Structure 1
């Protein structure tokens, strides 16, 4: 990556307020993190004190916010060169880079410490791993070096349901590992759908996202391949007897819809339509897919608990 490929972030000229610090935590991403973490907690067998459960979800949120903040601290110069991210607090000059770094470290350390003291240290250890995975392994190592960054880095966002489950049970079993695997397999087609219509931003700052390095045709094929591979992983909790048919059939229908929406994306030629409606439709559905899938997991658990299935 050359120095000319990036624009240096502006020096903060105005005092930051709480909204700038909140923006560093990537609230939209955090909403998905909180939701999947909560679903993992609610779907786990056994029970947890509501206060402890709330604390666990709060720690997951704080940890995710800390990792996101450290991501923006490290990538401030890259964000400044991308239209999609140029108005984030650091590149826009509303926040000092060192303040973001210190805030990210504070959130990360606090989240792990509280999780360990209030819940248990296995959950805290996995939370710490998730922060390091996103802030270091993905952000610093993978993202600027390989087009497989999203494939390997997908684990960063896959930890919340695993942590939520462990907060209740205190152990790692096959079910929470499958929940991790679902998000891991979901991340590439989800993110590559976005990357297809913002690839010029990544190319401008020298980030080797799949469409930039391997081209649109390869990326489109891989989106369909991962959508197909995601289906059996999503249905697997039902197949192993971890859920009932409410989840299993719902997961199958959602996954078939995911594949159906991936087909027109895979079949299109590069540059065929600058509007990229199929890609945007797939990206939007992929978010709905994950919310619906994990909601079904909780619904299935509640219905089974009350003898409705």
Structure 2
């Protein structure tokens, strides 16, 4: 048996870990991957390290707030889904009241941080992102429509607008193009995960597209979004004057990712492979989507430093 001091230390660490888990750190990490490259493009070079740090800190707090409030509102869904049943509100490590207070405090602090340390425009965009995710997606769309992730996914596009406005104090067509890239990326990123866990979503009564539609339609729509997404990446070339590094990286990554969506579609339409697409092949597209977005935004970050 552990001495009282060791037990107290272990309990404190578990509680802290539970609070951190509510913020969904891996989701935050993906959102921040798009912020710094956008800031570099807006600056056409490296912004001040202080501004980058301030934007990342405020963005992480804001995204954490939205994720915590999502966990609070969706705790009934999380309790019946295998993928989410170990979240702190389901296991009882934290109470709903603790989560609600934590989420609201994070939100207020993040918006105030942006308003004071960065600029008011970025603070208002962050407020909009939180409202889109918590109210628009979680409270209104998620349980009502199979297109929930399409429109609710706009919240995940907001970091590029926030990053751009942090540097310039406003928005530009290039920022809107990057917003469009992530908006079109979201369905072929999230629907493969929904295909893999469609039984969980069905049990929870969440009408994700893979729950209410067959694999053929889901894979077909994913492919359409992927093609539109790649086309949108090339719109950045004339709008932001991107060079050959960005063009080459976007082309190669785009062909590769669209090819993975085509392979998934072929499996989905093959009657002899019914049900196969929602397992391994879907998860390959899911993980591939993360790699794709990382490559494109890495190219966005590198391109402004090159002479062509």
TM-score (norm 1): 0.91
1:238–1:245 CA contact under 8 A, matched in 2: no
**Matches of 1:169 and 1:274, distance apart in 2:** 44
How far the C-alpha of 1:25 sits from its partner, in A, is: 0.6
- Counterpart of 1:32 in structure 2 is 30
1:154–1:185 CA contact under 8 A, matched in 2: no
Q: SS state of the match for residue 31, structure 1? A: helix
List structure 1 segments (4+ residues) > 3 angstroms apart after TM superposition: 46-49, 269-272
How far the C-alpha of 1:275 sits from its partner, in A, is: 7.3
- Give unpaired runs (5+ residues) of structure 1: 1-13
How far the C-alpha of 1:241 sits from its partner, in A, is: 4.2
- Counterpart of 2:283 in structure 1 is 280
**Matches of 1:218 and 1:161, distance apart in 2:** 30
Q: SS state of the match for residue 91, structure 1? A: helix
Number of residue pairs matched by the alignment: 292
- Counterpart of 1:299 in structure 2 is 302
Question: How large is the RMSD of aligned CA atoms in angstroms?
Answer: 1.6
1:248-287 maps to which residues of 2 (within 5 A)? 248-269=247-268, 271-273=274-276, 276-287=279-290
- 1:51 and 2:50 matched: yes
**Matches of 1:109 and 1:135, distance apart in 2:** 14
Greater shift after overlay, 15-24 or 53-62?
15-24
- Counterpart of 1:79 in structure 2 is 78
Q: SS state of the match for residue 153, structure 2? A: helix
How far the C-alpha of 1:19 sits from its partner, in A, is: 0.5
- Give unpaired runs (5+ residues) of structure 2: 1-10
**Matches of 2:238 and 2:176, distance apart in 1:** 14
- Report which of the two has the higher share of helix: 2
**Matches of 1:274 and 1:121, distance apart in 2:** 46
Deviations 1:27-51, CA, capped at 9 Å, x for gaps: 1101011121122112212664322
**Matches of 2:154 and 2:82, distance apart in 1:** 27
TM-score (norm 2): 0.91
2:195–2:278 CA contact under 8 A, matched in 1: no
**Matches of 1:179 and 1:244, distance apart in 2:** 16
How far the C-alpha of 1:20 sits from its partner, in A, is: 0.5
- Counterpart of 2:158 in structure 1 is 159
Q: SS state of the match for residue 91, structure 2? A: coil
1:237–1:248 CA contact under 8 A, matched in 2: no
Distance 1:212 1:272, change over 3 A: closer
1:120–1:167 CA contact under 8 A, matched in 2: yes
